Structure 1
Amino acid sequence: MSAAGKGTDGALLRVSGLGAGYGGMPVLDSVSLEVRPAEIVAVVGSNGAGKTTLLRALSRVIAATGQIEFKGQDLVPMTADQVFCEGLVQVPEGRQLFDRMTVEDNLLMAADRRSDKAVALEDLRRMYALFPRLGERRRQLAGSMSGGEQQMCAMARALMARPILLAIDEMSLGLAPVVIEQLMEVLARIRDEGVTVLLVEQDVHLALSVADRGYVMETGRIVHEGAASDLIDDPAVRKAYLGL
């Protein structure tokens, strides 16, 4: 789906000493992480750990201090629109679809800036192949669909922008297990096609089960990091987040 650019050290995204917050109240405290091309990286932690704030800072929706390098470029001085155009595309928590527009119109909005309209239509067909339910619902108002279908639509809309890095905030929130399983399969598939994924999740086991590597956040800081399989087996992580 997408060719992944990267910095000279092999990292697609490198974050160092990141700080951010709201109204003068700090949330993130010197967060550092990296995401390499064509991998799924999970950022996990309980509600209030700062995960959504991290994604908002990376997408430049909120101001931040520290370093954010994407494809070797400094994102800190960029606007949210510029970051999007560089290929860092976010699927926000709560989906944020245009409820009174059809599924197809929601998807095509993500391709509005593209000059390759014929290719965009091919991408639309690809989204319907990736999410068959959306093909069935393409003329339906997005706001009238189930939560799982809306999450599929939000992910397909982001993929229509041909992201290099897809950042997903709380993908599984409120969804039935069967839908979550379908979405997890999609994540693995798009990763295999070259799209890098940064998955922010409160469901620690779910996220680490599909990820290559992971970071655990607590109160705005990274407290554990490593291969996803190692984190699942880490006694501290198992006790704190998996109830084991």
Structure 2
Amino acid sequence: MSAAAKKGQAPLLKVADLGAGYGGMPVLRNVSLEVHKAEIVALVGGNGAGKTTLLRALSRVIAATGKIEFSGRDLVPMTSDEAFASGLVQVPEGRQLFDRMTVEDNLLMGAYRRSDKAAVERDLKRIYGLFPRLGERKKQLAGSMSGGEQQMCAMARGLMAAPVLLMIDEMSLGLAPVVVEQLMAVLGTIRDEGVTILLVEQDVHLALSGADRGYVMETGHIVHRGAAKELIDDPEVRRAYLGL
């Protein structure tokens, strides 16, 4: 467990008895989890487990029942714009960049709600420090970059929104291992700078290896939870998800 959780601090995000679905068809049932400030929490599970549905419920893109408390505020009655304005930012699966805009314009789109222009400029320089490749390609069309570079751009765009909690959906999908290692290193850096991260991944070993704590989801339920190292060493998790 992370130091923040050990100290008994109130969680940044608290989800209790969450239910959500589509068109009257339930996907999530009684989901409960917590994310504490300045930690990386991994939400892992196979395709169809309900991970993306959970992110959509947290982002208020779809309706939900139960409790979603973020920074001491009730998110359930909020719109997606209000949740975003509160500091809850999602990096979607598939990146969803503006392909015919430059890298830098994509990054600035992440900050479109911010009025602190000097801080935006400082954050842009910081982003180029975190992702030097983006600095080299800032005038290049985003759609012309490699998959790994586009994922960097999507994550950087999320960071430009000045998130309190950054939720990343399937970061490693389709990327070479060396690129994924670079991205995981960046997550560690921004966590150390105080950004809280909820990492949603099918690659269970990858996510748990870089996380402080983790949750394992199956068919809309949380079936395992605990410190990331404990989950990696759990015989049932190893057998079901790690092929060991």
TM-score interval (norm. to shorter): over 0.9
Query: Which whole-Å CA distance do the structure 2 matches of 1:31 and 1:42 have between them?
Result: 15
Structure-1 residue corresponding to 2:40: 40
> How many Å apart are 1:102 and its aligned residue?
0.3
Gaps of 5+ in 1: none
The runs of 4+ residues in structure 1 deviating greater than 2 Å are: none
What's the CA shift string for 1:184-226, capped at 9, x where partnerless?
A: 0000000000000000000000000000000000000000000
SS at match of 2:82: helix
Q: Secondary structure at the match of 1:184?
A: helix
1:121 partner letter: E
Partner of residue 84, structure 2: 84
**Is 1:165 the equivalent of 2:158?**
no
Q: What pairs with 1:178-189 in structure 2 (closer than 5 Å)?
A: 178-189=178-189
* 1:105 match: 105
Please name the residue that 2:144 is paired with: 144
- Residue 87 of structure 2 is aligned to residue 70 of structure 1: no
SS, match of residue 236 in structure 1: helix
Aligned to 1:154: 154
CA distance in structure 2 between the aligned counterparts of 1:96 and 1:61, rounded to whole angstroms: 16
In structure 1, what is the equivalent of residue 130 of structure 2?
130
Shift of 1:23: 1.1
1:10 shift after superposition: 1.3
Whether 2:53 is the aligned partner of 1:53: answer yes
CA RMSD between the two structures: 1.1
Q: For 1:12 and 1:188, how far apart are their aligned partners in 2?
A: 18
State the distance in 2 between where 1:201 and 1:40 align: 12
**2:155 is matched by which residue type in structure 1?**
M
Q: Secondary structure at the match of 1:101?
A: coil
What is the alpha-carbon distance in structure 2 between the residues aligned to residue 183 and residue 55 of structure 1?
20
Give the structure 2 partner of residue 218 of structure 1: 218
Q: For the residues of structure 1 that align with 2:44 and 2:87, how far apart are their CA atoms?
A: 23
Q: Give CA deviations for 1:159-190 in whole Å, capped at 9, x if unaligned.
A: 00110000000000000011000000000000
SS at match of 2:199: strand
Alpha-carbon deviation of 1:9?
5.3
Query: What is the CA distance between 1:67 and its match in structure 2?
Result: 0.4
SS of the equivalent of 1:200 reads strand
Does 2:236 align with 1:236? yes
Deviation (angstroms), 1:131:
0.2
Amino acid at match of 1:103: V
Cα distance in 2 for partners of 1:196, 1:111 equals 18
Instruction: Find the residue that maps to 1:243 and give its secondary structure.
Output: coil
CA deviations over 1:124-176 (Å, ceiling 9, x no partner): 11101100000011001111111100000000000001100000000000000
Separation of aligned partners in 2, 1:181 and 1:159: 19
Distance across 2 between alignment mates of 1:84 and 1:53: 17
Letter in 2 for 1:143: G
Instruction: Structure 2 unaligned segments of length 5 or more: list them.
Output: none
Q: Secondary structure at the match of 2:61?
A: coil
Partner deviation per Cα, 1:47-105 (whole Å, 9 max, x = no partner): 00000000000000111111000011000000001100100000000001001000000
What TM-score, normalized to structure 2? 0.96
What amino acid maps onto 2:134 in structure 1?
Answer: L
Listed as ranges, the matches of 1:185-224 within 5 Å are 185-224=185-224
Give the Cα–Cα distance (whole angstroms) in 1 for the partners of residues 26 and 75 of structure 2. 20
